[in-house]
Structure 1
């Protein structure tokens, strides 16, 4: 993997159609299935349930699943999106696409038992922010709740979203942690996410449930993510914290598709494990410098760049599914244009600069 250095001149980035889209068009793009997914969806064994569909990735994954099935001519397969549904707009948009929504509190065992049957389960439920002050919530959501799901859907193919936080810090020159590396989680969030993995691993070994564990590092889209955090910091005239050193980021649409394309790769008795991120090891200083150039502002920095970072090697992912369809340069240009033109932003800072595991 090649580290992006701050002394490399900014490259010309071709115009990106999605840069001028409004929110509804952006969400259309984030739910767009590629031809590989459409081909695979034709062979999905039955109905799909997306758990945690009201989160930042859930609506895109739910709509992409429905659109892929429609393109594959699988009108017989239903997609159900399960959430507490605090966002009625997102719920209504999915219903319009033909996704059936279900309101449920997944911490309630009776509610989980009452969920509709499915042959494919996409598990997106997780707790991260606020876990430092309320660690019991992380333990309940990230470890206990998956046990309810694993029991209810022991006959389904399960794809469970995890995080690269389960790994320890590595030096950028190593290319990041690989799937075969031993987890070294730090803090309640990372530890409980590793617990979620172990719960689904238990299901794979004891009940022969086919499982895929997807360790995601920093998916980005214009409203949310590392690049949005950096752009907001720069426009506010604040210094960028160099505490993370370097990061991996990946286009959200690609991440949504990889989650769904992992369905046929789910295995038992050992789960299929996959790092999901972009191909670059990107220095935070370099990212901020390039964003500042696009935004027409000066970049200032605080802190020291550490020798290690939370980094992952996604070679296996790119071998199986190809490279992301948006390059890092395109994502930087898109982010700058989106925020400069007053595009919607979510108030959900990633806290990517934290190294102590407290979120």
Structure 2
């Protein structure tokens, strides 16, 4: 059985070590892409929820492609205990740095490949100025500093507006309609990066992610924990998209093979439009708990159409039904979670 097939057939994830291994296992497509990728790779803002396993996947892809001489470097403040050591143990060099501090970018090493991951979402309400500095001002500085590099930059599906739940969601070519300071600042990031890409000839890709999930964090964990705790499930944002974080990692790294100026844009999410009600009812069945709902489903939701990325990179290895089953199993056996609600249910763009 191939690695791809074994991941798709998972019945249970044993522990955090196996989970991190699965999230960072490079697909054959990633290994092929990294065999052709010249030079070292820097991750800016590596210490978030997705960064560590993404950086480890990159390290493993270089090694599998016979390019072990390539450096993978992670830059972050590393305010959470253990994250820097975790990366170093896996062959990723680390640099402690606050990217907003004057002079910081100039002191970072050169590299021909950059993944830009830093952002501010939670706590944006009440800290609007810092949100715009992180999400729009800093990306412009990064692009100027690394004008001779190739850049893959994370964005978000929050740059879109709410779409009818009867459709597939927003396409990359749809005009943005962000709601709230966070979404608007992320659109600001995209506009600044597009300007720098055009003006400086920087090959780029923008990754509009919506939403990556794993067993410790994400929309499915939010819903599963509510059902397990007997809490009421709000139906206002009654539909959503989700993708296994390991698949989102793989699509992000494969984007290095599809850079352009102006930037190529990819919606990265799963192909399904998922119903909050149906997902919660499935969790209730799997967890042996009743489920209570509040409110009613709106006719629209924040949804993204990922057919472009799926056409290029292939479908996610783990579908939504399997993700729900794996999440329920993890919660039932008391697996750790990050205890960071996604607030995906917010319809007013306030996070």
* Structure 1 residue 304 displacement after superposition: 1.3
Residue in 2 that maps onto 1:324: 316
* Structure 1 residue 125 displacement after superposition: 0.5
* Secondary structure class of the residue paired with 2:166: helix
**In the aligned structure 2, how far is the partner of 1:15 from the partner of 1:155?**
39
- Normalising by structure 1, we get a TM-score of 0.94
* Secondary structure class of the residue paired with 1:109: coil
Residue in 2 that maps onto 1:5: none
**In the aligned structure 1, how far is the partner of 2:93 from the partner of 2:128?**
33
* Structure 1 residue 16 displacement after superposition: 5.0
Residue in 1 that maps onto 2:3: none
Paired residue for 2:334, among 328, 342, 349? 342
**In the aligned structure 2, how far is the partner of 1:147 from the partner of 1:20?**
40
Matches within 5 A, 1:103-182: 103-182=96-175
Query: Are 2:8 and 2:318, in contact at CA under 8 Å, matched by a contact in 1?
Result: no
Query: Are 1:197 and 1:213, in contact at CA under 8 Å, matched by a contact in 2?
Result: yes
Q: How many residues align?
A: 345
* Structure 1 residue 148 displacement after superposition: 1.5
* Structure 1 residue 18 displacement after superposition: 6.8
Q: Which sections of structure 2, spanning at least 5 residues, go unmatched? A: 1-6
State whether structure 2 residue 345 is matched by structure 1 residue 353: yes
**In the aligned structure 2, how far is the partner of 1:345 from the partner of 1:230?**
13
* Structure 1 residue 129 displacement after superposition: 0.5
* Structure 1 residue 76 displacement after superposition: 2.3
Residue in 1 that maps onto 2:41: 48
Residue in 2 that maps onto 1:300: 292
* Structure 1 residue 109 displacement after superposition: 3.2
Q: Which sections of structure 1, spanning at least 5 residues, go unmatched? A: 1-13
**In the aligned structure 1, how far is the partner of 2:91 from the partner of 2:224?**
36
Paired residue for 2:199, among 206, 213, 219? 206
Matches within 5 A, 1:6-85: 17=10, 19-85=12-78
Query: Are 1:16 and 1:334, in contact at CA under 8 Å, matched by a contact in 2?
Result: no
* Secondary structure class of the residue paired with 2:230: coil
Query: Are 1:50 and 1:81, in contact at CA under 8 Å, matched by a contact in 2?
Result: yes
What's the RMSD between the two structures over aligned residues?
1.3
Task: Show CA shifts across 1:247-267 (max 9, x none).
Answer: 000000000111111012111
Task: Show CA shifts across 1:61-115 (max 9, x none).
Answer: 1100000000000122111011111234222122122111111100123111111
Residue in 2 that maps onto 1:192: 185
Query: Are 1:251 and 1:324, in contact at CA under 8 Å, matched by a contact in 2?
Result: yes
**In the aligned structure 1, how far is the partner of 2:233 from the partner of 2:349?**
19
Residue in 2 that maps onto 1:310: 302
Query: Are 1:109 and 1:148, in contact at CA under 8 Å, matched by a contact in 2?
Result: no
**In the aligned structure 2, how far is the partner of 1:67 from the partner of 1:254?**
15
State whether structure 2 residue 214 is matched by structure 1 residue 221: yes
